Amino acid sequence: MLIPDTGRERPRLSVRTSVSVPVRLRDGREATPSVVSFHGLPAGWPVDKEPLALVFGSPGPVPLVRVHSECLTGDVFGSLRCDCGPQLAEAMARFADEGGILLYLRQEGRGIGLYNKLDAYALQDTGADTFEANRMLDLPDDARDYWVAAAALQALGHTEVALVSNNPDKQRQLTEHGITVVEAVPTGCHLNPFNDRYLRAKVDQAGHRIAVEAAGAVEAVGEGTLS
């Protein structure tokens, strides 16, 4: 695995710390995943971009895996402009029941950062969709890279997964980095009046497998960022 734009070999990760952390799920239940940090990130890797794995139960040889990119507005503040928070909650609840691995990557706003994401929101409020807004800011549609997720899975001893995701690019990148996606498991369609246009943009422009039509039409008020 090569680091983009450098040609240098990407480092292999190893487990640094694994510690039990009791958590309260959004449905009110409690679970106790092991939260795992990693050795081996490239020199100079920012401390605010360190990835984590939350391991629920005892995942089998082909674990359920959700690779989730950080979304402060959705994951923490409950923003309705995207479906990130509900996807995270759905995955954690499922893993609490069935076992699984949540990889939390610090790639806010499809990798463009929090402030740029909010700038894109402002442009979306004038009529641009989530992709058009990024382009108007001279930013890529999606700047995320999933090599660290693949390396973390390998450090945890897994090279085959059932990937909980609607995003074909996520599956493609993991495959390129040595992870066999045995099954692609879609998330639910977390449609609301504020993210309708956003979800449809993900389907129409990025090929996400979201059953928006089956969920029905709602009056769209705003958009979010691609998850």
75 is catalytic: no
Q: Which of 144, 196, 197, 200 is catalytic?
A: 144
Strand segments, DSSP code E, in the chain are: 14-20, 23-24, 30-31, 34-39, 52-56, 64-69, 100-105, 160-164, 180-185
Instruction: Tell me how far CA of residue 200 lies from CA of 24, 144, 191, 226, in angstroms.
Output: 31, 20, 10, 11
Helices (H), the chain: 84-98, 114-124, 130-136, 147-155, 168-176, 196-206, 212-215
Choose the catalytic residue: 119, 142, 197, 200.
142
144 is catalytic: yes
Of 94, 46, 39, the closest CA to residue 70 belongs to: 46
Number of H helices, E strands in the chain: 7, 9
d(CA 207, CA 163): 16
Structure tokens at 51: 């990835």
Q: Extract the tokens encoding 189.
A: 């369609």
Q: Which residues are catalytic?
A: 142, 144
